[in-house]
Structure 1
């Protein structure tokens, strides 16, 4: 069974080209998940890590940098075409829209199968842990879906029905439910084991989810609990983004070359560079200018090579892959700082001091928020945060985005396949 059942499940999911096509496939793809042994379920869980990591594609990890003003197409002669570039990406027919949508839902299909498989096993601590890890990933997938498209179909079980979109509020509530299950049942964090889902990773992701909804007090409390847990500490960028053992990462995909097609670095480096790449995107000059010589993040964040601007956080080029950091301690500092307003200034300055910068002392809440968002932009560059930071603070106009570009367009092929779906306004 170990040699036949799991590959069948994985190959079926791989073949699913879209959410709507997926829903046409009979539940379980004719494989009886209640026949899986505990060992099979463990193998299935490994497949979940792999699928969630790979299915949405490399650009999904930096999508909010692409449309958030941090990046522009490498062939642009100036940054003046930034708005046209972003509008070109945010189109229903753009492949990035369908790749991410299909990838997230294909991963969800596999997670739902795993949850059904675990439910058929005898009760045990490990069965509870595996289910909780699956709930973490389901919450993570739906966070990515709701922040891009707003309300989307919520699938707690696989179905062959064409489903309409749930409301945005319903999706957020579902994410919170999933992450609470993960917080309650996932394994405890073991030192250095940040490539495995843990209960504290679920708590950290919940802090992000609370902040995204404007639940500031809850977000700050959760972030402070993660900071105060003693499990993590701020660490050097050269460790975090060079696959070295570090104390800062809370959860990441290891993203080994043997298992992964996610090679973000090829999007950033030229073929002439030592590591070689396709040079699809380059940082804008404004992005380059955020960093100063005293900032210890500078060299690992951006680089100039043969007069060309480069994002330097993913250094493997065509020779390998880099870890994909999903959540780390610096974000918790920034969540706590933002959620508490000026009362969180100490956390902001603590992070800045660790990164080699002096303190700031904003005179108003508005000036303080500006300082926090700038620090988020510098700290989290190339990690997929910028656009949604603008969206949740109603600042997309700061980079000249159109009103409709506060959400992604639903992919054109999904609308054609599922008539129950409605496009986001103005697309």
Structure 2
């Protein structure tokens, strides 16, 4: 009966999120839509992984670590095809854009939990405080993912005027908000995470990696600060996370022949599991039926004694490569959550940017020795300068975190620093280009959301 009740109210809330305001207000309340009131109900909402533990996928379609052939490109849905070539009209008639809708469903669910807890007699209990920490983390993560996709790269000099996202902080279905500034958006994210970090447990939840911990909160903060180019805070939060959990897998113990080398039970690097939204099933899927390939420019970066080449990728008979099933072993969509390898790379990058060349390379080598085939001796990488170290670390970052939901945002921040990276694709003889800091580095808000709420659209 408890599970049936949970399904009823989850379906009810999902229906509320999926309809527009007018449709909802025109309908009479149904007696089978129950409002969550107990701590079990609240935890059930947050454990609903059809809504939570998902992040956007437009970034993977648009990034430079995916390649689609002339023959395969027409077989994608319009959004996949258009995002791949950075078209001005990305959605091409597609509706229910998950990068926006799913993330705001997460916000809606989290707000329902937070509002319900505020009225609960159990709020002071440790279980209620743990649930509150989860809900705040989930809301902050959703807000952050939305800013990454639908806002400019953070720039402290313009964040107070750059467009942010609608900050929906209450659960009402008619809670329509206009866009905040980007600074206000980040302020809210940090406010949520500050409270969440104080409430979440310090232990990695090894059997419930869909639930956040302090480790996950610090890992999220490290990623956010890295995107903001606040390298001092990125390093500090990476340290906080690694002080709590720093396990790395020796890839010599991983099966290099299987198409599913990682599972939730054998990947001890995992901190918090999320995946790309289950929307784009043609191009960026981690399976041997994916139309998306790994560009040869990336494949050529891996040396023969680098176990990542055979663990991360499978090879087709035509010599092209696909990404094997995701880093956490479930489904066919790329892993986008947090793991210790990313934290080592953040730490190493920040050290290099601070001029600590030797320490930066030592941290990088702690990771690389775990990726090296023991059949040959491991020779630690060295750097002649901080700039040389940074270049090496960023290359290793692109190799280690390929198809992990970070590359597109790395390119955005590199261009904010003057890297002047232009992306180029050639399809059927036509060349498509995306210059640095072009408006198309920011995704358009879906037109149905614009029609419903009247919020300001991004220029394309």
Please, what TM-score do these two structures have when normalized by structure 2?
A: 0.76
2:415 is equivalent to residue 401 of structure 1: no
1:167 corresponding residue in structure 2: 181
2:270 corresponding residue in structure 1: 249
1:348 corresponding residue in structure 2: 364
2:193 is equivalent to residue 158 of structure 1: no
Report how many aligned residue pairs link the two structures: 399
Q: Please, which runs of 5 or more residues in structure 1 have no aligned partner?
A: none
Q: More displaced, 89-98 or 212-221?
A: 89-98
1:311 is aligned, of 312, 322, 333, to 322
Q: Aligned to 1:311, what secondary structure does the other structure show?
A: strand
Instruction: Give the conservation status (yes or no) of the 8 Å contact 2:133–2:200.
Output: yes
Instruction: Give the conservation status (yes or no) of the 8 Å contact 1:282–1:310.
Output: yes
Instruction: Give the conservation status (yes or no) of the 8 Å contact 2:46–2:109.
Output: no
2:67 corresponding residue in structure 1: 72
State the structure with bigger RCO (CA 8 A, min sep 6), 1 or 2. 1
Q: More displaced, 337-346 or 357-366?
A: 357-366
Instruction: Give the conservation status (yes or no) of the 8 Å contact 1:136–1:202.
Output: yes
**After superposition, what is the alpha-carbon deviation per residue over 1:335-380, rounded to whole angstroms, capped at 9, x for unaligned?**
1112222412321232223222644434444443322221111000
Instruction: Give the conservation status (yes or no) of the 8 Å contact 2:349–2:390.
Output: yes
Q: Aligned to 2:40, what secondary structure does the other structure show?
A: helix
Task: Give the Cα–Cα distance (whole angstroms) in 2 for the partners of residues 97 and 360 of structure 1.
Answer: 47
Task: Give the Cα–Cα distance (whole angstroms) in 1 for the partners of residues 14 and 451 of structure 2.
Answer: 21
**After superposition, what is the alpha-carbon deviation per residue over 1:221-251, rounded to whole angstroms, capped at 9, x for unaligned?**
121222233x331114548952042321111
2:239 corresponding residue in structure 1: 224
Instruction: Give the conservation status (yes or no) of the 8 Å contact 1:90–1:97.
Output: no
1:102 corresponding residue in structure 2: 101
2:221 is equivalent to residue 206 of structure 1: yes
Q: How does 1:156-305 map to 2 (within 5 A)?
A: 156-159=169-172, 160-190=174-204, 192-193=206-207, 194-229=209-244, 231-236=245-250, 238=254, 242-243=262-263, 244-253=265-274, 262=278, 267=283, 277=289, 279-305=290-316
Aligned-residue offset at 1:15? 2.9
2:156 corresponding residue in structure 1: none
**After superposition, what is the alpha-carbon deviation per residue over 1:9-55, rounded to whole angstroms, capped at 9, x for unaligned?**
3223433566x9269746xx88674x7123322323322x441135x
Q: More displaced, 401-410 or 138-147?
A: 401-410
Q: Aligned to 2:180, what secondary structure does the other structure show?
A: coil
1:114 corresponding residue in structure 2: 113
Q: Aligned to 2:293, what secondary structure does the other structure show?
A: strand
Aligned-residue offset at 1:141? 0.8
Cα pair distance change 1:300/1:374, threshold 3 Å: same
1:330 corresponding residue in structure 2: 341
Task: Give the Cα–Cα distance (whole angstroms) in 2 for the partners of residues 294 and 136 of structure 1.
Answer: 39
Task: Give the Cα–Cα distance (whole angstroms) in 1 for the partners of residues 398 and 22 of structure 2.
Answer: 38
Aligned-residue offset at 1:96? 8.8
Instruction: Give the conservation status (yes or no) of the 8 Å contact 2:326–2:335.
Output: no
TM-align CA RMSD: 3.5
Instruction: Give the conservation status (yes or no) of the 8 Å contact 1:24–1:161.
Output: no
Task: Give the Cα–Cα distance (whole angstroms) in 2 for the partners of residues 219 and 261 of structure 1.
Answer: 26
Instruction: Give the conservation status (yes or no) of the 8 Å contact 1:66–1:72.
Output: no
2:41 is equivalent to residue 43 of structure 1: no
Please, what TM-score do these two structures have when normalized by structure 1?
A: 0.81
- The structure with the greater share of residues assigned to helix is 1
Q: Please, which runs of 5 or more residues in structure 2 have no aligned partner?
A: 74-80, 152-163, 373-377, 424-432
Q: Aligned to 2:273, what secondary structure does the other structure show?
A: strand
Instruction: Give the conservation status (yes or no) of the 8 Å contact 1:232–1:249.
Output: no
Task: Give the Cα–Cα distance (whole angstroms) in 2 for the partners of residues 120 and 165 of structure 1.
Answer: 28
